[in-house]
Homo-oligomer: A and B are copies of this chain.
């Protein structure tokens, strides 16, 4: 075993990655423990630890105390999605952002929603429908419910002037959330709002957020046809 001086955890990541892709350490194989690698690479155990920890976070290694570190058999690659505010998406492309409130109502949510989202049944919530425009062209249509039991102030906000997404980000922080993406055929109303043909395929994001156990808001966003969500591996 040659002792090569690899001082940074980045170098070690690359070297380990190399050994994985070239199958020096084939899938399923147990690799040497941190202490041995530290000796081999001429660095401290903490540095090896950081390199291996990050590789395991990206799904390439599997680590267990006492059992050691293994190369994952069928790597489940992790891709990071950046969920930005729609306004930013639009402005990043050099387009002008526009916003229109379509509907506002303080009503009881459908039972399905109350069930799946965990809000008390029989309580009114704020329901908003709005359109996001890019250079005056429909970009996304959103259908949102806000838990006004928890955020009563939302009832007094003029959501025709303030984008609900941005108001909530600044006024009702959440601790965790839950997102799903899918594809649906635009129904009659949706296609009218987005100015597309009925049944056109639209990309959908469903998001629910909570502050600890308390539901904050849930929103379904339909993006105009052609929308792509992009990331790297």
How close is A76's CB to chain B, nearest CB, in angstroms?
A: 4
* Interface pair A17/B83, CB less than 8 Å apart: no
| Residues of A within 8 A of B (CB-CB), count | 54
| CB of A81 within 8 Å of the partner chain | yes
Is A27 positioned at the interface, with any CB of B under 8 Å from its CB? yes
Q: A83-B233, A175-B21 are in contact. Are A201 and B228 (CB under 8 A)?
A: no
State the Cβ distance, A70 to closest chain B Cβ, in Å: 15
- In the complex, the count of this chain's copies comes to 2
Selected interface stretch from A105-113, A153-161, A203-211: A203-211
Q: How far is the CB of A167 from chain B (nearest CB, A)?
A: 12
Q: Is the CB of A233 within 8 A of B84?
A: no
Asked whether A192 is an interface residue with its Cβ less than 8 Å from the other chain, the reply is no
A39 interfacial contact with B, CB 8 Å: no
Question: Please, which residues of chain B bring their CB within 8 A of the CB of A21?
Answer: 173-175, 211
Within 8 A of B (CB), among A183-233: 183-185, 199-204, 207, 209, 211, 223, 225-233
Write out the residue numbers on chain B whose beta carbons fall within 8 Å of the beta carbon of A201.
183-185, 199, 201-202
Give A40 Cβ to nearest chain B Cβ, in Å. Answer: 22
Known contacts A17-B175, A230-B179; is A78 also within 8 Å of B76 by CB? no
For this complex, 13 residue pairs linking A to B, each with C-beta atoms less than 8 Å apart, are A23-B173, A76-B88, A79-B80, A80-B81, A81-B81, A81-B231, A174-B233, A178-B231, A180-B230, A181-B181, A182-B228, A182-B229, A183-B202
Besides the known contacts A78-B82, A179-B232, A183-B204, 4 further A-B residue pairs in the complex with CB atoms under 8 A apart? A20-B173, A83-B233, A180-B231, A199-B199
